[in-house]
Amino acid sequence: MKKGLLLAGILAVITGTAANAQRVNYGLKATLLVSNIKGEGINPGSKPGFQGGAFFEFNLTKDKKWGIQPELLFTQTSAKKGNDFAQKYVTYHNTQGREKVKISAVTVPILVRYTPIPALTFNLGAQYSNLFFIDENLIKGNLDAFKKNDIGIVGGAQVNVANVRFIARYVKGVANINNIPAPQYNWKTNQFTLGIGIAFK
């Protein structure tokens, strides 16, 4: 509940600032997301997903070359249990556990933006994801196999055509999202997104 209120507060502040600032663009985006989770007991294959939400472009210089780009996104993705899951987590594995894991998250990237020419922008920064819904029963006792928080390093570029943004981005997870007590193997995410955004201002 507290995290939900915090995210709502962040969105309200950003939206209010965008409405009054002279050097701000804002809009909506939708992207195809391809992701995987690498770690012991997890299938490393890439899975398709979706990501969409609001973005804000704050220009820090008069020439609009440097700026900050925060976003508030909904992420829908999935993972799959590996064939070796029962061998890696002998004590904890649930023999009735489903193979596929569905994951929904609220994702907040905070990016530095550099626009050397109006048609091209590069992004670099970090993102936080709150995994608020994870449909899985991989381990016994209704315990969560996944942690609720993830952090990643973001790099990407976008092509700007008038108010349209064509976006390509890669995210490397740096946090361990494995919540199984022992043995404590690392599970880390990788994401690639490709999509489009529309700026309203």
**Interval 63-72: pLDDT, tens:** 999 999 999 9
Confidence of residue 20 (pLDDT cuts 50, 70, 90): very low
Q: Judge whether residue 55 has pLDDT over 90.
A: yes
Using CA atoms in the order 167, 39, 86, 148, what is the torsion angle rounded to 10 degrees?
Answer: -60
CATH annotation of 23-200: 2.40.160.20
Q: What is the pLDDT of residue 185?
A: 95
CA-based nearest residue to 113, from 75, 162, 166, 56: 56
Distance CA 32, CA 150 (A): 19
Q: What is the mean pLDDT of residues 74-97?
A: 95
Confidence of residue 165 (pLDDT cuts 50, 70, 90): very high
- Domain boundaries along the sequence of the chain: 23-200
Can you read off the two tokens belonging to residue 185?
A: 């193997």
Phi first, then psi, for residue 160 (nearest 5°) are -105, 120
Q: What is the pLDDT of residue 21?
A: 47
Higher pLDDT pick, 53 / 9: 53
Confidence of residue 92 (pLDDT cuts 50, 70, 90): very high
Q: What is the mean pLDDT of the chain?
A: 91
Q: What is the pLDDT of residue 184?
A: 85
Q: What Å distances lie between residue 163 and 5, 14, 51, 153, 201, CA to CA?
A: 31, 20, 20, 26, 8
Q: Judge whether residue 9 has pLDDT over 80.
A: no
